[in-house]
Amino acid sequence: MRYFGSRQNNAWQNNRLTLKQAYWSGIGAGYSRQGLVSAGFIVLLALFFWPAAVARPSYRLQAINQFNLVADSGGVRVVTCQYCHLSPNGGAFWNAFGDRVRSSFKGSIGEALYQALVAMEDSDGDGYADVLEVFAGTLPGDARSKPLVRAQFLWQALEKAGGVDIYKPR
């Protein structure tokens, strides 16, 4: 057998040491015991905080179905977690509408979403009630996202469609 360059003939490359022996002898990627303990601690923290850092897909799907949201190909109405969260991917930080949903949460996300709309409040202070923003396809927790038509027109259109009850959980 021919070797080009330097031939490394240590036990690690010849697979004669177990992983434990390689760790304690310092062979491997140069990991120290303290470094591995720190990495393990970080993994445990990540697993512990994972539920708080990621929006629950079932909640997002409930909002999509209940609010009759459809993502279109032009990117105009993007269905993100920003109906309730500050980040498009969800996470621990909530916007004003999300705080309202959380305050009315009694076990069912569908009922909490509905109760937030029935309250007829304007969570983000942009002049449009949350139910009107959902009806118009804008974000009720973001003052920069608001309908392009007058509130009175939206109220009339919402009433013709069946009022806030069109958002009752199914």
What tens digit of pLDDT does each residue of 84-137 get?
A: 999 888 888 999 999 999 999 988 999 999 999 999 999 999 999 999 999 998
Tell me: do 73 and 140 sit in the same domain: yes
> Looking at the structure, do residues 72 and 137 belong to the same domain, yes or no?
yes
Q: Which residues of 127-147 are buried (b: 16+ CB within 10 A; e: fewer)?
A: ebbbbbbbbbbbbbbbbebbb
Whole-number pLDDT of residue 129 = 97
pTM: 0.63
Q: Is residue 6 part of a domain?
A: no
My answer on whether 157 and 86 are in the same domain is: yes
Domain-located, residue 119: yes
Evaluate if residue 2 carries a pLDDT over 90. no
Buried b (16+ CB within 10 A) or exposed e, 17-36: beeeebeeeeeeeeeeeeee
Measure the CA–CA gap between 165 and 155, rounded to whole angstroms. Answer: 13
The reply to whether 68 and 109 lie within a common domain is yes
> Is 38 contained in some domain?
yes
Q: What is the per-residue pLDDT for 60?
A: 80
Compute the C-alpha angle 75/78/82, nearest 5°: 145
Q: Which two tokens stand for residue 39?
A: 């990495």
Domain membership of residue 140 as a residue range: 57-167
Burial of 103 (0-12, 13-18, 19+ CB in 10 A): exposed
d(CA 142, CA 156): 23
Is 93 within a domain?
Answer: yes
Q: What is the mean pLDDT of residues 65-86?
A: 73
Whether residue 11 is contained in a domain is answered as: no
42 and 92, same domain (yes or no): no
How far is the C-alpha of 130 from the C-alpha of 121, rounded, in Å? 6
Please tell me whether residues 105 and 44 are part of one structural domain.
no
7: in domain: no
Percent of the chain beyond pLDDT 90? 45
